Amino acid sequence: MNQNTSNDFLQVLGLFKEHIEDILSQEGNILVEENVSIPIEETLDKVKKEINNCQKCKLSHNRTNIVFGVGNEKAKLLIIGEAPGYDEDIKGEPFVGKAGQLLTRMLIAINMKRSDVYITNVVKCRPPNNRNPLNEEISTCEPYLLKQLNIIKPKIILTLGNFAAQTLLHTSTGITKLRGKFYFYHDIKLLPIFHPAAVLRNSNLRKPVWEDLQLLRDEYQKL
Ligand code: SF4
């Protein structure tokens, strides 16, 4: 290749690179050093703004606050409960009542802090009188949870109670049978355990919960 041909070739390569960058920026992506495109619009703040004043299901009628989620946005562990309760609805923060205090103690028992993890629920608004969320409410709210998952990209998901496990694992099997082992949600390890509120009601659940927390601790320490 003579000098002129080589210069022409480099010029064409440069134009081609500019063209690709134009296309990516028009599609709402940015080009990073390793030529990996990242959607610009997906941040927790943006999803939180999007959810603000959501009226997509009937749970909007009685709520005081939407309970979006709280914690470390780069957490390796994402904890997903079922729905906000009375205290959470008032404060707009998940797991701040008695069950939340127990969750904090459960984390401390395996040498973790709330600030290490991100905590949210399957549905973001409190069901009236703390009833179970309905299937249509879960499916309407699920896209918000999936966006949170996609942004946080945890290494492990801990689900609390029936609904979080059943929603992510697409199963009707109950938590009593599901608990005690890891599953995969796409390529993320998922451990279903009893909800702390259930443990407060039934002290017999303390033993299986402690066994499951040890499984979680061992897996987390490998990260
Ligand atoms: S539960 Fe979810 S979908 Fe229903 S109103 Fe609240 S934020 Fe919207």
Looking at residue 5, what is its pLDDT? Answer: 52
- In order of their start, the domains of the chain are 1-40 (no CATH), 41-221 (3.40.470.10)
Using CA positions, which residue lies closest to atom 3 of ligand 1? 141
Ligand 1 atom nearest the C-alpha of 83 is 1
pTM, entire model: 0.82
* Å from CA of 21 to ligand 1 middle: 37
Q: How confident is the model at residue 42 (pLDDT cuts 50, 70, 90)?
A: confident
pLDDT tens digit string along 101-149? 999 999 999 999 999 999 999 999 999 999 999 999 999 999 999 999 9
114: its two tokens: 């709330």
* Å from CA of 59 to ligand 1 middle: 6
Does ligand 1 lie within 6 Å of residue 46's CB atom?
A: no
What is the distance between the alpha carbons of residues 143 and 80, in angstroms, rounded to a whole number? 14
Other C-beta atoms closer than 10 Å to the C-beta of 5 total 9
Query: Mean of the per-residue pLDDT values for the chain?
Result: 87
Written as one string, the DSSP assignment of 175-214 is HHHHTTS-EEETTEEEEEE--HHHHHH-GGGHHHHHHHHH
The strand pairing partners of 81, in sequence order, are 121
Residue 31: pLDDT above 60? no
* Å from CA of 92 to ligand 1 middle: 13
* Å from CA of 195 to ligand 1 middle: 21
pLDDT tens digit string along 20-29? 444 433 333 3
Looking at residue 8, what is its pLDDT? Answer: 58
Q: How confident is the model at residue 36 (pLDDT cuts 50, 70, 90)?
A: very low
